[in-house]
Amino acid sequence: MDEVKKVSNITISRSILWVLIAGTFALGVFVGRGAWLFSAGVADKTEDESRRSVEDFAYIRLSITEGDSETRKIRELKPFRYKVDALVQEKIDDDEASFVSVYFRDLDNGNWFGIGENEKFSPESQLKLPILIAYFKWSETNPLVLRKKILFRGVGAPPAPLYLKSPKPLEAGSEYTVNDLLFRMTAYGDNDAYALLLANLPAAYLHKVAKDLYVNYDPEVEVTGDSLTLSAYASYFRVLFNASYLNEDMSEKALRYLARSVFHDGMVSGIPPDINIASKAGERVIKIADSEGVPAEVLQLHEFGIIYHPERPFLLGVTARGTDFRKLARVIKDITRLVYAEVDSQTSSDAP
């Protein structure tokens, strides 16, 4: 009887042992599987974040340099200002323009040159970009500001542009969100949208943008003449490209709005159709008196933009004055074509 009881105890002990072994094995599989799933999840998350950086951002510097920082070659461009200078003089000699200023900056290494870049122009026609930046900066702490609706009454509107006309003007009696107005002001150059946004933007926000970016222009002081240079205006585009003032999302959004510009007679016509560009154009009619004291008008057309050459994005600004907006647009187009061709010939992978 005692022997049977001993055998029974041994059998039970062995059963418990096998249960413990099986349990340990199952636990190991579970832990290992969990660790694999966790590591896979982290890997997937990292991959998703990396994919977001490339796919969600197309216009800020992050999207240009992400993933190929080791293979990007940043070679200094050989000087070509003399070629642009010769073209500018040719345009003036042919009476296509009476004055032209040019600003160029290589966004890879910061090298730049200018032709009359310190010549001042009226910031009123280009105040739309700092207003866009000011609203987006405001929205970083108060996202609801972009959803605010503003009524367009259709009275007291600013003069309509002569050349850069909005394809979709505002309708009197309609309400528009701030975000919609910002897009119309930026992409369509809509002066009514600009006036509404300016009237509803606390002056301190616009002043802060000029102060933070060290732009030598005070938006709170009434403008009676030309007071902003191309080199100063370049600051707005540089901080958007580098996402150094607005956050990445807002910088990308601002550049996407600029990339939807409907003005295609200038810089857009001077680059290949598959190349992205984020630009802003403006016009102005300058009242003057000729040598005999007779009142006359001088037309001014200017455009500033980031041109996304696939290997070397660059910043270009051109201001042209003359008597025909179409000729001035052609001046901007031809200068852009020359600059792009020069950058491309020196930057292409097969270039010496």
Q: In this structure, how many other beta carbons lie within 10 angstroms of the beta carbon of residue 227?
A: 16
3-state SS assignment for residue 161: coil
Q: pLDDT of 289-327, one tens digit each? A: 777 778 888 999 999 999 999 999 999 999 999 999 999
Please report, for residues 8, 70, 90, 295, the alpha-carbon distance to residue 116 in angstroms, rounded to integers and kept in the order given: 104, 37, 16, 26
Kindly report, residue by residue over 96-120, the tens digit of the pLDDT.
999 999 999 999 888 999 998 887 7
Q: Convert the pLDDT of each residue in 225-249 to its tens digit.
A: 555 778 888 999 999 999 999 999 9
Lowest mean pLDDT among 24-28, 34-38, 253-257: 34-38
The per-residue pLDDT for 112 is 95
- Residues counted in the chain: 352
C-alpha–C-alpha distance, residues 101 and 115, integer Å? 5
Residue 221, C-beta contacts closer than 8 angstroms, at least 6 positions apart? none
Q: What is the pLDDT of residue 295?
A: 83
Tokens 């991959």 correspond to 47
Q: How confident is the model at residue 197 (pLDDT cuts 50, 70, 90)?
A: very high
pLDDT over 90 for what percent of the chain? 58
pLDDT band, residue 123 (cuts 50/70/90): low
> Phi then psi for 224, rounded to 5 degrees?
-115, -5
Contact (Cβ atoms closer than 8 angstroms) between residue 314 and residue 105? yes
Regarding beta strands 149-152 and 295-307, do their DSSP bridges make them parallel or antiparallel, or are they unpaired?
unpaired
**Residue 150's beta-bridge partner residues?**
176
Across the chain, mean pLDDT equals 82
Instruction: Give the pLDDT mean for 259-281.
Output: 96
pLDDT of the residue at 161: 86
Assign 350 a pLDDT band (cuts: 50, 70, 90). Answer: very low
Residue 254 sits at φ, ψ, to 5 deg, of -60, -45
> What pLDDT is stored for residue 35 in this prediction?
41
Question: Alpha helix locations (H) across the chain?
Answer: 2-55, 61-65, 81-93, 128-141, 178-187, 191-200, 203-212, 230-242, 248-259, 325-347
Average pLDDT of span 59-81: 71
